[in-house]
């Protein structure tokens, strides 16, 4: 299905919903090109949280009074919205967490700790964000399991040729992979990995922090076993994210954190656990943030995730073309938009990325510079850091043009 | 724009002073700023408890490399105790540009590394705010 990208009229209307885009820095309008770090927020999401706090705030799953009922209903409606967004078979499979990192830690410290042992293998890739690397390192240390890493080619495309050897030598228990590299924008061949992992009897954990915000993500079509994403990259507030997991797997697991909310009955010496999903939600949850996330999801549906995906594709294609005009600039990652999402990393001769980002900031162009929480990947690429521009539903060609103009000024200031 | 990367800073970045390794030195340390990938190796030649020469090698952003270059001139002739007590502000004053908290770490990388080198060679105290760290790696 081909969906038209957002029109200029659409973009103008969408941008008007994001109050921060009216801000000026150093006398110039903001060009926010760091959505892969966090998204900006539409007024509709901000209003939903303000309205909730102004009219319905009460702790969830406790009060028998009207406010408590309204609050609980709103929180659980947010869960339904996440379940629908991911095409989850059941709302019981949606666990609210603080963010992607906590969701991945939850899987490592429950499923991983309860299923991995000495001699077992966890397969990762060199593309992973630290959030999808460090929890598995800790798990391996604690259980005696071993980590194996799939490598990339020089453009960042994941190489699967090591899988046969891994399958022969080891008992693979778990494969954890990113749906899209937050540094390079490449999209690993998840379908092939899932088929391979399941043939080994292993489960697949998908870090979807970079894809849930900008295109349809369907856990049933993907056939993964766990999937994590963050609300704050998805037009929602900070402090809320979600883990989706297969009910058959989640049902067998011992809890992650313990305390209130996640219990059925508590005696002094012994406690029985609540049913899914609350078994994994100890303590007062971020229910107001869940309401904000719900409004954000509604906003994404109103624009259309297919249209957002098409827009990102078009704007990435435009950016790759314009960046190629900057003398000395080298794209790190795939050179065509077809192979990647709306994230472009680059280096500019030997100018340090932090100097580039600092000078671009004087042009009110916001980009990230550094290792992007992927130190092993940056090292694998033989670099110390990159500059990263990332795009979303508000990104315009004008903003890309300003990035390019800023980079030409970087050349002038740095004397290259 | 030009208030950020002033001529003086760019001059030190493009033509660093006392740059390159020293054949024999009395104190040496390496410092890193993993966030940026900045790295410097500081070497010091001492004479009667004073810094005869500080030299450095390294790579990184203009702020980290220019600041370390400026530092080599700033500390020449100081006693090890004076150098160990040199406040971060001294190097920020040399740079004389507005820096965010994150870039301050770049600016004082060379100074921290020098203090570590002196600590190891001459037993001078490390800055109290370092706690029990004896490595020069900003986090």
- Does residue B123 register a pLDDT over 80? yes
Chain A residue closest to B36 (CA)?
A370
Smallest Cβ distance to A352: which of B2, B14, B61?
B61
| Cα(B83)–Cα(B68) distance, integer angstroms | 13
A327 and A246 inside one domain: no
| pLDDT given for residue B3 in this prediction | 60
Q: Please, which residues have CB within 8 angstroms of residue B108's CB and are 6 or more apart in sequence?
A: B67, B88, B91, B92
Closest by CA position to B103, among listed B115, B116, B117, B92: B92
Query: What tokens appear for A221 in the block?
Result: 């079509």
Q: To probe the interface with B, which of A347, A360, A384, A405 has the most B CB atoms within 10 Å?
A: A384
Confidence of residue B78 (pLDDT cuts 50, 70, 90): very high
Name the pairing type of β-strands A203-207 and A146-150.
unpaired
Question: Residue with structure tokens 């994210």?
Answer: A241
Q: How many domains does chain B have?
A: 1
The pLDDT of A122-146, averaged and rounded, is: 98
Classify residue A42: in a domain, yes or no: no
Read off the pLDDT of residues B19-41 as tens digits, 9 standing for 90 and up. Answer: 999 999 999 999 998 777 789 99
Read off the pLDDT of residues A172-218 as tens digits, 9 standing for 90 and up. Answer: 999 999 999 999 999 999 999 999 999 999 999 999 999 999 999 99
Judging contacts by C-beta atoms under 8 Å, the chain A residues touching residue B4 are 358-359, 362, 413
| Cα(B28)–Cα(A415) distance, integer angstroms | 32
Read off the pLDDT of residues A249-261 as tens digits, 9 standing for 90 and up. Answer: 999 999 999 998 8
Query: What tokens appear for B73 in the block?
Result: 């001139």
The pLDDT of A22-33, averaged and rounded, is: 96
Closest by CA position to A42, among listed A235, A179, A251, A173: A235
What CATH code is carried by the domain that includes residue A328?
A: 3.90.1150.10
Q: H or E segment at A114? A: helix A113-115
A403 and A333 inside one domain: yes
Residues of A catalogued as catalytic: 373
A21 and A136 inside one domain: no
Local structure of A20: helix, strand or coil: helix
Classify residue A38: in a domain, yes or no: no
Q: Please, which residues have CB within 8 angstroms of residue B114's CB and are 6 or more apart in sequence?
A: B29, B42, B44, B54, B71, B75, B83
A283 and A326 inside one domain: no
Concatenated DSSP letters of A214-264:
TS---HHHHT-SEEEEESTTTTS-TT-EEEEE-HHHHTTPPPSS-SSSSEE
The pLDDT of A37-48, averaged and rounded, is: 98
Question: Is any Cβ of chain B less than 8 angstroms from the Cβ of A352?
Answer: yes
A167 and A235 inside one domain: yes
Q: H or E segment at B58? A: strand B50-59
| pLDDT given for residue B1 in this prediction | 44
- Does residue B138 register a pLDDT over 70? no
**Final residue of a structural domain among A301, A320, A339:** A301
The pLDDT of A395-415, averaged and rounded, is: 96
Q: Higher-confidence residue: B138 or A201? A: A201
A238 and A379 inside one domain: no
Question: Residue with structure tokens 């980590």?
Answer: A147
What's the mean pLDDT when you consider all of chain A? 96
What's the mean pLDDT when you consider all of chain B? 90
A130 and A256 inside one domain: yes
A-to-B residue pairs, Cβ atoms closer than 8 angstroms: 50
- Does residue A10 register a pLDDT over 80? yes
What CATH code is carried by the domain that includes residue A151?
A: 3.40.640.10
Kindly report the backbone phi and psi dihedral angles of residue B50, in degrees, each rounded to the nearest multiple of 5, phi listed first.
-120, 160
| Cα(A351)–Cα(A357) distance, integer angstroms | 10
| Cα(A91)–Cα(B13) distance, integer angstroms | 57
Smallest Cβ distance to A359: which of B4, B35, B106?
B4
Local structure of B130: helix, strand or coil: helix
| pLDDT given for residue A366 in this prediction | 98
| pLDDT given for residue A339 in this prediction | 82
Classify residue B73: in a domain, yes or no: yes
The pLDDT of B68-80, averaged and rounded, is: 97
Read off the pLDDT of residues A351-392 as tens digits, 9 standing for 90 and up. Answer: 999 999 999 999 999 999 988 999 999 999 999 899 999 999
Contact B62 A415 (CB under 8 A): no
Classify residue B74: in a domain, yes or no: yes
Classify residue A39: in a domain, yes or no: no
Read off the pLDDT of residues B89-108 as tens digits, 9 standing for 90 and up. Answer: 999 999 988 888 888 999 99
| pLDDT given for residue A283 in this prediction | 95
Classify residue A1: in a domain, yes or no: no
A149 and A262 inside one domain: yes
Question: Is any Cβ of chain B less than 8 angstroms from the Cβ of A130?
Answer: no
Confidence of residue B139 (pLDDT cuts 50, 70, 90): low
Q: How far apart are the first and last CA of chain A?
A: 45
Question: Residue with structure tokens 């315009």?
Answer: A396
Classify residue B29: in a domain, yes or no: yes
Count of alpha carbons within 13 angstroms of residue A316, beta-carbon side: 28
pTM of the model: 0.92
The pLDDT of B78-83, averaged and rounded, is: 96
Q: Higher-confidence residue: A4 or A315? A: A315
Smallest Cα distance from B41 to chain A, Å: 16
Burial B92-118 (b: 16+ CB within 10 A, else e): bebbebebeeebbbbbbbbbbbbbbbb
Query: Do you find a cis peptide bond into A277, omega within 30 degrees of 0?
Result: yes
DSSP code for A108: I
| pLDDT given for residue B48 in this prediction | 93
A234 and A99 inside one domain: yes
Smallest Cβ distance to A358: which of B4, B14, B34?
B4
A62 and A166 inside one domain: yes
Classify residue B2: in a domain, yes or no: no
Q: What percent of chain A has pLDDT over 90?
A: 91
Q: Please, which residues have CB within 8 angstroms of residue A217's CB and are 6 or more apart in sequence?
A: A85, A86, A179, A208, A211, A227, A229
Q: What percent of chain B has pLDDT over 70?
A: 94
Read off the pLDDT of residues B40-60 as tens digits, 9 standing for 90 and up. Answer: 999 999 999 999 999 999 999
Contact B1 A359 (CB under 8 A): yes
| pLDDT given for residue B38 in this prediction | 86
- Does residue B5 register a pLDDT over 80? no
Read off the pLDDT of residues A76-109 as tens digits, 9 standing for 90 and up. Answer: 999 999 999 999 999 999 999 999 999 999 999 9
- Does residue B4 register a pLDDT over 70? no
A251 and A336 inside one domain: no
Confidence of residue A138 (pLDDT cuts 50, 70, 90): very high
CB A143 within 8 A of CB A112: yes
Q: To probe the interface with B, which of A25, A27, A348, A358 has the most B CB atoms within 10 Å?
A: A358
Contact B36 A354 (CB under 8 A): yes
Q: H or E segment at A347? A: strand A343-348
Classify residue A369: in a domain, yes or no: yes
Judging contacts by C-beta atoms under 8 Å, the chain B residues touching residue A362 are 1, 4
A232 and A283 inside one domain: yes
CA angle B72, B88, A350 (to 5 degrees): 60
CB A384 within 8 A of CB A369: no
Q: How many domains does chain A have?
A: 2
Give alpha helix (H) positions in A119-189. 134-143, 163-169
Query: What tokens appear for A37 in the block?
Result: 């770090």
Q: Please, which residues have CB within 8 angstroms of residue A271's CB and are 6 or more apart in sequence?
A: A258, A263, A264, A265
What CATH code is carried by the domain that includes residue B79?
A: 3.90.1010.10
- Does residue A30 register a pLDDT over 50? yes
Give alpha helix (H) positions in A353-416. 353-361, 375-380, 397-414
* Residue ranges making up the domain that contains A382: 8-32+305-414
| pLDDT given for residue B101 in this prediction | 84
């Amino acid at each position: 299905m081909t969906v038209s990208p957002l029109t200029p009229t659409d973009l103008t209307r969408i941008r008007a919903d994001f109050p921060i885009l009216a801000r000026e820095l150093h006398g110039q309008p903001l060009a926010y090109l760091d959505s892969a770090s966090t998204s900006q927020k539409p007024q509709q999401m901000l209003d939903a949280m303000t309205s909730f706090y102004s009219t319905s705030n009460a702790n969830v799953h406790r009060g028998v009074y009207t406010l408590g009922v309204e609050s609980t209903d709103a929180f659980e409606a947010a869960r339904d919205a996440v379940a629908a967004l991911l095409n989850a078979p059941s709302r019981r499979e949606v666990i609210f967490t603080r963010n992607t990192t906590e969701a991945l830690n939850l899987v490592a410290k429950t499923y991983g700790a309860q299923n991995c042992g000495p001699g077992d293998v966890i397969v990762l890739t060199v593309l992973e964000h630290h959030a999808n690397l460090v929890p598995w390192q800790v798990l391996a240390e604690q259980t005696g399991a071993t980590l194996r890493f799939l490598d990339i080619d020089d453009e960042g495309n994941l190489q699967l040729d090591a899988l046969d050897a891994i399958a022969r030598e080891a008992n693979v228990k778990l494969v954890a992979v990113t749906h899209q590299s937050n540094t390079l924008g490449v999209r690993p061949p998840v379908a092939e990995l899932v088929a391979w992992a399941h043939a080994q009897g292993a489960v697949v954990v998908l870090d979807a922090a970079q894809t849930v915000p900008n295109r349809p993500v369907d856990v049933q079509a993907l056939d993964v076993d766990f999937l994590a994403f963050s609300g704050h990259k998805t037009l929602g507030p900070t402090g809320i994210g979600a883990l989706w997991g297969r009910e058959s797997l989640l049902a067998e697991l011992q809890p992650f954190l313990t305390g209130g909310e996640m219990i059925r009955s508590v005696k002094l010496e012994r406690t029985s656990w609540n049913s899914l999903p609350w078994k994994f939600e100890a303590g007062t949850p971020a229910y107001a943030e869940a309401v904000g996330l719900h409004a954000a999801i509604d906003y994404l549906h109103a624009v259309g995730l297919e249209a957002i995906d098409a827009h990102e594709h078009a704007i990435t294609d435009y950016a790759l073309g314009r960046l190629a005009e900057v003398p000395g600039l080298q794209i790190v990652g795939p050179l065509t938009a077809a192979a990647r999402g709306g994230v472009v990393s680059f280096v500019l001769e030997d100018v340090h990325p932090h100097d580039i980002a600092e000078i671009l900031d004087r042009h009110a162009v916001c980009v990230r510079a550094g290792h992007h929480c992927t130190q092993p990947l940056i090292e694998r690429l033989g670099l110390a850091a990159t500059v990263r521009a990332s795009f979303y539903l508000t990104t315009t060609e004008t903003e890309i043009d300003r990035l390019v103009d800023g980079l030409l000024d970087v050349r002038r200031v740095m004397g290259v | 724009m030009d208030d950020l990367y002033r001529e003086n800073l760019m001059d030190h970045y493009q033509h660093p002073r006392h740059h390159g390794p020293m054949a024999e030195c009395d104190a040496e340390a390496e410092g890193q700023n993993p966030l940026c990938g900045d790295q410097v190796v500081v070497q010091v030649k001492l004479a009667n408890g004073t810094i005869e020469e500080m030299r450095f090698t390294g790579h990184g952003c203009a702020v980290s490399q220019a600041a370390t270059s400026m530092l080599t001139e700033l500390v020449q002739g100081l006693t090890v105790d004076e150098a160990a007590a040199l406040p971060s502000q001294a190097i920020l004053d040399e740079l004389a540009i507005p820096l965010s908290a994150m870039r301050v770490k770049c600016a004082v990388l060379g100074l921290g590394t020098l203090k570590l080198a002196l600590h190891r060679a001459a037993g001078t105290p490390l800055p109290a705010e370092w706690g029990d760290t004896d490595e020069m790696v900003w986090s």
